Amino acid sequence: MDIKALDLPGVLLLTPRRFADKRGYFFESYSEKAFHTAGITAKFVQDNQSYSAERGTIRGLHFQKPPRAQAKLVRVLQGSVFDVAVDVRAGSPHYGRWAGATLTAEGREQILVPRGFAHAFCTLEPDTVVAYKVDDFYAPETESGLIWNDPDLAIQWPVPAASVVLSDKDLKLGRFAEFVSPFTYEGS
């Protein structure tokens, strides 16, 4: 597995090795052993999947607050996305900074989003399917987020703002300037 650190410590781009022949291909999308060897200790407990019909669908910026915070391992099963993680850990030298990467079904890329980061993705083509593992169960009483187009975060989304598709819930998320983080930076 190829592992590349993105611009924020702990946010990783992982690309599994693919074995192809005349039948097609095979790859391990997750191996606890390989992850532990790479120093990734998240123990995933739930798999989630989303389907987005339209290009320009943004889901996020989401997170669960402690004590039910989640790390996520995100990959694309069909289509492609621009995936973003934002450091929301109070006291972090990277607080409020974001890192992004393009994930495609063909490329097999995955992004590891640690606890203490808000997460979002934008679909780059119609009929996109995203799957992700989380290391704690869904707890609706702890879910929260930040508005996708917050000027203080200045995320460079790859689609025009006028064509973005959002849920009603995501339209109501708060601004970063008013955000009081429940996460604490504990060093690298």
The 10s digit of each residue's pLDDT in 25-83 is: 999 999 999 899 888 999 999 999 999 999 999 999 999 999 999 999 999 999 999 99
Asked about 36 being catalytic, the answer comes back as: no
Residues 6+ apart with CB under 8 A from 64: 70, 136, 138, 139, 142, 143, 144
Catalytic residue among 36, 94, 119, 132: 132
Q: Respond yes or no on whether the N-terminal peptide bond of residue 61 is cis (omega within 30° of 0).
A: yes
Measured in residues, the chain has a length of 188
- Residue that is written with structure tokens 């975060």 in the block: 153
- Taking 80 as the threshold, does the pLDDT of residue 119 lie above it? yes
Catalytic residue among 36, 62, 94, 185: 62
pLDDT tens track for 159-173: 999 999 999 999 999
DSSP-based three-state secondary structure for 2: strand
For residue 177, give the DSSP letter.
G
Lowest mean pLDDT among 39-43, 113-117, 122-126, 145-149: 39-43
**Distance in angstroms (rounded) separating the CA atoms of residues 141 and 118:** 16
- Phi first, then psi: give them for residue 140, nearest 5 degrees: -55, -30
DSSP-based three-state secondary structure for 63: strand
- Taking 70 as the threshold, does the pLDDT of residue 134 lie above it? yes
Question: Rounded mean pLDDT of 113-122?
Answer: 98
11: nearest Cα among 136, 131, 110, 142? 110
Asked about 51 being catalytic, the answer comes back as: no
- Taking 70 as the threshold, does the pLDDT of residue 188 lie above it? no
Between the alpha carbon of residue 170 and those of residues 2, 16, 40, 62, the distances in Å are 33, 32, 30, 9
